[in-house]
Structure 1
Amino acid sequence: MTDSLTRELEQSRPRLRAMAYRMLGSVSEADDALQEVWLRTRRTPGDAVRNPGGWLTTATAHTCLDLLRSRNARHEVPVGVRLPDPIVTVDGHATPETQALLTDSVGLALQVVLDRLDPAERIAFVLHDSFAVPFGEIAAILNRSPEATRQLASRARRRVRAAPTPEGTPSDQRPVVDAFFAAARRGDLTALIRALAPDVILRGDLGTGKLWETTGSDEAAAQAVRFAHPRATLHPVLVNGAAAVLVTIADRPASLMAFTVAHGRITEIDVLADPHRLPALLPEN
């Protein structure tokens, strides 16, 4: 591995990790991808790399593309089975490594949409729209023509635009989330429905091998009342930079609830309650 490639890898690591997370929807897989890129640099002759930055971007994209295709081929994590990994921070505090991820992060609702794209669409969209990689370079990675690559990104962009987008700051979002939980604990369906957009999406990952989803404020409000646990303790956190809540019961994490708030109402709720995944995704105290 050349000295210039070594320096570029260390300097670009936060950007490459954010890129890999956006492509894979998994923090652990993003770290695995960077480890694979590092191993590839060890096998690369010193005179083979003229543009270290471009080489590392291409290597990361290739690695992520291989992982996505392998995942699909083995049906390892098929669409609709699990939520993407959230990036969780407490009280706005984050380690420098986590902060680097948040700098380029997208909301969890958008990450769900990315998870449902074809691997080539996802790579094309993330590289071009999020990291400004030219279509010519992406075409070489995907083994497509630049025009075909542009069309892939365009199809992905149309689907991404339909995803709910958080509005305002976490401080703006928090009162809406607090009102939702206060109404749920009172069993006040009327107040709950006021806090929810009419076409709100409620999505749950319980670790059962199937992601359940329901649409509409009436059904979401009924579910909220049904699952309001009297012994639950609510801890305000941020998920991908937006207002969220960690729910604990008897000091043990029970669920992580991420909210998308727009126009003063909740438009999407994503509930992660997989007992195997949840503890590993929470920041250390």
Structure 2
Amino acid sequence: MDSTATDRFEASRNRLASLAYRLLGSATDAEDAVQDAFLNWQAADRQQIKVPEAWLTKVVTNLCLDRLRSAQARRERAVGAWLPEPLLDGDPMLGPADTFEQRESVSLAVLTLIERLSPLERAVYVLREAFSYSHAEMAEILDITESASQQHLHRARHRITAARHRDGEVDPASARRIVEEFLAAATSGRTERLVAMLTDDVIAISDGAGLAEKLLRYDTPQRVAAVARGGFKPTPAKRRLAGGAPAIHYALVNGAPAILFVVGDQVVGAVTFDITGGRIATVRGIAAPTRLARLVETWRQHVPDTPLIAQW
């Protein structure tokens, strides 16, 4: 394949990766889908491809749908151990972020809700909300009618809106203040202050550092506060597991406020927050190395701010 064809594909790589990531919720799987698309591009009769961007979008979308429909993917996502893979803000895989809809479509909250959609509903939702494709274009990409595209989008929007804590975008300064107050209360063991910071229907989700077969889930403000108080208390055992005494940094992950536990240049844990009405609605603890691989890679190219806690 000549350099012109390679350059044309590379010019689309980030956009294709951000599409695949939104569809699959996994950076690793998204990279695999884009690489498979490149192999398709290599093998194609490119002289017959009138609009390469449209052709590549169709190939990547359908590769992702094939993955979602596979028996292996259904098993992986049915056991209750699946979480979207978090990405540090600035990662090109997060893709377009010019509109509220584009930013929301890559939030961990929406990536989790997308799991409730059928593969076609998911594809139409992502193509429309994140990439502004028309129903005619989506019908061509997905080999469906425009009417079917409209119906899939209507159902997808309804199901996501019905389950979504939607309070618009949180002011960045306010989000940081809330997270810093949460960290201070959790590390000092101030349970009453933690409870006051949580919504009545708060949930906390943890992957148990990848050691548990299923995600750990907690609800009620009192239970979540107790778990946070215990989880944020440093112990020798936790430091051994982390490989040292981590620094705790504030960061943005998938557009949401987060704190990262960092040992050297290695992110060993991430806690993300969904905030609504000035209170915390969801806390996610992610520490499985396989879920943090790309975030670690991006962090190493990042110049961090002064840590909130220099040594936990």
Q: What's the TM-score, normalizing by structure 1?
A: 0.86
Alignment-derived partner of residue 20 in structure 1: 20
Matches within 5 A, 1:230-245: 230=234, 233-245=247-259
Residue equivalent to 1:222: 226
Query: What does residue 204 of structure 1 align with?
Result: 206
For 2:279, the aligned partner's letter is R
Structure 1 pair 38–251 and aligned structure 2 pair: CA distance change class (3 A): closer
SS of structure 1 residue aligned to 2:47: coil
CA distance in 2, matches of 1:251, 1:10: 29
Q: What SS does the corresponding residue of 1:47 show, helix, strand or coil?
A: helix
Q: Single out whichever of 148-157 and 247-256 deviates more from structure 2.
A: 247-256
Alignment of 1:109-188 (within 5 A): 109-161=109-161, 162-165=163-166, 167-188=169-190
Alignment of 1:52-131 (within 5 A): 52-70=52-70, 75-78=75-78, 80-89=80-89, 94=90, 97=92, 100=95, 105=103, 106-131=106-131
Counterpart CA distance in 1 for 2:137 and 2:288 is 38
Q: CA deviation at 1:203?
A: 1.2
How far apart, CA to CA, are the structure 2 residues paired with 1:253 and 1:46? 42
| Residue identity in the other structure for 2:251 | V
Amino acid in structure 1 at the alignment position of 2:160? V
- Paired residue type of 1:225: R
How far did 1:236 drift? 1.3
Corresponding pairs, count: 280
Give unmatched runs, 5+ long, in structure 2: 236-245, 302-312
Shift of 1:212: 2.4
2:287 counterpart of 1:273: yes
Unaligned runs of 5+ in 1: none
Deviates more, 1:18-27 or 1:228-237: 228-237
Q: Is the 8 A contact 1:204 1:211 kept in 2?
A: yes
Q: Is the 8 A contact 1:17 1:31 kept in 2?
A: yes
Structure 1 residues 78 and 54: CA distance shift in structure 2, 3 A: same
Given the two structures, how large is their TM-score scaled by the length of structure 2? Answer: 0.79
CA drift of 1:136 comes to 3.2
Q: Aligned partner of 1:255: which letter?
A: G
